[in-house]
């Protein structure tokens, strides 16, 4: 009997117990003290045959938002519908399926998006194709950075632009794993991520930090009071809160590696690590890093697995790397968040996107 079969025989009953515990809430992440469970009152704008709007951005004139989706396109919301704005790869023949991780290296997977406030160019962090740029009219993006120090970028993730210095700060989550292998990066405690700087004028890249664990979002705090929102605060989207299994997996590498060897689909493993309960959590931080507010959809009634929160004109535009929609939460001015609930109720994602069953929890 080979080692893999032995592991499977041992793992299956343990897996059954783990799933049973997960469904009863034993591994469910604990509630956050002082949080407001108001995000179920969000509006949802569904995408048309697309999934995974990971990042949201508005252009310098206030148009949009724009978002990158899993099939390699960048879409623009025109107020009534989503229209294609740009693509990161010219090889589009086999890129018609909304969710096909095996083709991401061909079709591209745009993650972080930022507009240059002076030029109107859209800069794109594509997980597989590196740092790219497309003009204000959209179309096929041009390559800026595909490799650093002679090594191809494996998992370009996010960016921010310092338009005064004309440089871009961007992250690579891992030099060992691709985006579609992000679970392996987390569970093996991979620390090969980097923070880099790209000089737009000189076309030069400088590595600023190395040895980072899943380097993801990056945001600048400017000294001249140009802030992430009108109050100078930052919104941080949490994919999920930390449950018991996730704590074990990120504390003990042997445990995380053992989970990867179990006969589990990606969705099954993901289900266990998020505690069996899809949810959404958005954290507001001050410029000094202090907690100001935590907004949640504890039961995942409307929003799940959020990846970015963009505050604009009294609304929070909320992205998700996995779901086929974005959320909009209206912030009540000068009021407690508990009275800011909207009354709009929308049908489940299955009712709108039957092809998204793999990700509809």
**Coil/strand/helix, residue 219:** coil
Each residue's pLDDT tens digit, 291-344: 999 999 999 999 999 999 999 989 999 999 999 999 999 986 444 433 333 222
Each residue's pLDDT tens digit, 153-168: 999 999 999 999 999 9
Here the tokens at position 4 are: 């893999």
Cα–Cα distance measured from residue 112 to residue 160, given in angstroms and rounded to the nearest whole number? 8
Cα–Cα distance measured from residue 40 to residue 316, given in angstroms and rounded to the nearest whole number? 13
pTM for the structure as a whole: 0.84
pLDDT at res. 259: 87
**Coil/strand/helix, residue 187:** helix
The closest of 245, 241, 349 to 296, measured between CA atoms, is 241
Minimum mean pLDDT among 67-81, 235-249, 307-321: which range?
A: 235-249
Binning the chain into helix, strand and coil, the percentages to the nearest 5 are 20, 30, 45
Cα–Cα distance measured from residue 143 to residue 10, given in angstroms and rounded to the nearest whole number? 48
CA 125 to chain centre: 12
**Coil/strand/helix, residue 308:** strand
Q: What is the mean pLDDT of the chain?
A: 85
Instruction: Give the phi and the psi of residue 116 in degrees, each rounded to 5.
Output: -75, 120
Q: What class, spelled out in words, does domain 31-240+278-359 have in CATH?
A: mainly beta
What single DSSP character describes residue 36? B
Give CA separation, 220 vs 56, 205, 236, 252, 339, in Å.
16, 18, 13, 33, 32
């Amino acid at each position: 009997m080979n080692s893999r079969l032995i592991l499977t025989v041992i793992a299956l009953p343990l897996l059954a117990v783990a799933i049973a515990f997960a469904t009863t809430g034993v591994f469910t992440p604990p509630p956050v003290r002082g949080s407001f469970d108001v995000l179920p009152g969000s509006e949802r704008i569904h995408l048309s045959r697309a999934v995974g709007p990971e990042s949201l951005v508005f252009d310098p004139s206030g148009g949009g938002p724009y978002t990158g989706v899993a099939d390699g396109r960048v879409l623009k919301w025109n107020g009534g519908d989503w229209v294609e704005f740009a693509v990161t790869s010219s090889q589009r023949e086999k890129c018609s399926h909304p969710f096909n991780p095996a083709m991401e290296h061909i079709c591209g997977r745009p993650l972080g998006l930022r507009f240059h406030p002076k030029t109107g160019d859209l800069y794109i962090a594509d997980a597989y194709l590196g740092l790219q740029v497309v003009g204000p009219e959209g179309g096929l993006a041009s390559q800026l950075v595909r490799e650093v120090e002679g090594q191809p970028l494996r998992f370009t993730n996010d960016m921010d632009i310092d338009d005064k210095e004309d440089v871009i700060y961007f992250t690579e989550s891992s030099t060992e794993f691709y985006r579609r292998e992000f679970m392996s990066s987390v569970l093996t405690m991979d620390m090969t991520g980097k923070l880099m700087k790209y000089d737009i004028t000189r076309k030069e890249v400088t590595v600023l930090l190395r040895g980072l664990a899943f380097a993801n979002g990056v945001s600048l705090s400017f000294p001249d009071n140009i802030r992430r929102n009108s109050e100078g605060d930052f919104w941080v989207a949490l994919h999920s809160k930390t449950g018991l299994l996730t704590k074990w997996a990120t504390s003990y590498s042997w445990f995380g590696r053992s989970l990867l060897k179990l006969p589990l689909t990606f969705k099954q493993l993901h289900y266990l690590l998020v505690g069996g309960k899809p949810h959404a959590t958005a954290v507001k931080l001050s410029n000094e890093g202090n907690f100001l507010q935590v907004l949640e959809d504890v039961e995942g009634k409307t929003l799940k697995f959020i990846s970015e929160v963009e505050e604009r004109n009294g609304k929070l535009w909320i992205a998700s790397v996995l779901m086929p929609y974005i959320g909009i939460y209206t912030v009540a001015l000068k009021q407690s968040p508990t009275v800011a609930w909207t009354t709009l109720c929308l049908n489940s994602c299955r009712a709108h996107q039957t092809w998204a069953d793999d990700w509809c929890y």
